């Protein structure tokens, strides 16, 4: 394995976790937020599949979904669902930032930057939904 395939694998894992998280959130959201959850889970699934394809093309093995995930926020209502979504987007952004730093080809770097941008946009939505100001951060994916 290389730094790039390791980072691709970590990004796939983050996307698997995001899909799981958004699946949980469907039970705690309604209206506009429910529509956002449906859109965002589809985006995460598509990105996960794209990353897995890139991983296999780079010589790695496709990553499967883990048997289970532990959310960093206990989800009990719409407000905590938004916090869990934000945490998931921040986790995925960190994986994409790491991938951008470790990518050894231009196409993988583009994939990383695109994923990081998408996470930053979704995170801004969840920050705004939670009343967090500012809704954006200067360096998405930075710890």
pLDDT digits over 5-60, tens only?
A: 999 999 999 999 999 999 999 999 999 999 999 999 999 999 999 999 999 999 99
Alpha helix ranges (H) inside 1-143: 3-25, 31-57, 78-102, 106-129
* pLDDT value of residue 124: 98
Nearest Cα neighbor of 22 from 68, 89, 77 is 89
| Reported confidence tier of residue 1, pLDDT bands at 50, 70, 90 | confident
* pLDDT value of residue 52: 98
- Predicted TM-score (pTM) above 0.85: yes
Query: For the purposes of burial, counting CB atoms within 10 Å of the CB of 53, is it exposed (0-12), middle (13-18) or buried (19 or more)?
Result: middle
Assign domain 3-130 to its CATH superfamily. Ferritin, core subunit, four-helix bundle (1.20.1260.10)
């Amino acid at each position: 394995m290389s730094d790039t395939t390791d980072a691709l694998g970590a990004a796939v894992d983050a996307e698997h976790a995001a899909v799981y998280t958004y699946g949980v959130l469907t039970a705690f959201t309604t209206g506009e937020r429910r529509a956002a959850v449906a859109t965002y889970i589809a985006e995460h699934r598509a990105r996960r599949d794209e990353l897995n394809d890139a991983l296999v093309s780079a010589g790695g093995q496709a990553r499967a979904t883990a048997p289970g995930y532990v959310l960093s926020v206990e989800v009990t209502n719409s407000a905590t669902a938004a916090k869990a979504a934000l945490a998931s987007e921040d986790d995925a952004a960190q994986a994409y930032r790491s991938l951008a730093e470790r990518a050894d080809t231009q196409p993988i770097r583009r994939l990383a930057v695109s994923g990081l941008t998408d996470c930053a946009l979704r995170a801004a939505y969840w920050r705004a939904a939670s009343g967090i100001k500012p809704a954006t951060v200067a360096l998405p994916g930075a710890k």
